Amino acid sequence: MLLLAVISTAIDPCRLITADDVTRLTGWTTNAPASKKRYHMPQESGTTCSLSAAEGVVTVPDAGSLTGSGVFANPLANGGAIAVHIHNGYAEIFNGSVYVDKHHRHAVIKILPLADQATQAELTAAAEIVAGRLP
């Protein structure tokens, strides 16, 4: 399972999803502390926070926009998003991703299980966690 979050406002990505969150969301135990790595793209650069487990990896880039999020960038353009209610913001599920909006700050969370597909409940729970940490 891969959990990918793209943040529209610069924020430490390791503060949005923690090892404890990974365990609550997926049942995984992470192997080591989170690692941070720099990434560079033509449009921007930033830091990616990764948490690894035997079952997969959780990755949270701190992109200043949705650049680099590929098919995650605009769920409404395809008309396939499902609105879900979260306590601290607004979220939409589309194609295994959940798009979170809280006071015009955004995060995109992608959950990719190795052998299955993320459930709406998992995506909604991930959205609640991240929305609670967005300023």
pLDDT digits (tens, 9 = 90+) for 44-77: 677 777 888 877 777 776 644 443 344 345 555 5
In 10 A of CB 59, how many CB atoms? 21
| pLDDT attached to residue 110 | 73
Helices (H), 64-114: 75-78
Instruction: Answer yes or no: pTM beyond 0.85.
Output: no
In 10 A of CB 80, how many CB atoms? 11
Helices and strands in the chain: count of H runs, count of E runs = 3, 8
pLDDT digits (tens, 9 = 90+) for 86-104: 988 888 888 777 788 888 7
Alpha carbon distance 40, 122 (integer Å): 30
Alpha carbon distance 118, 2 (integer Å): 10
Alpha carbon distance 114, 102 (integer Å): 30
Instruction: List the domain boundaries for the chain.
Output: 2-133
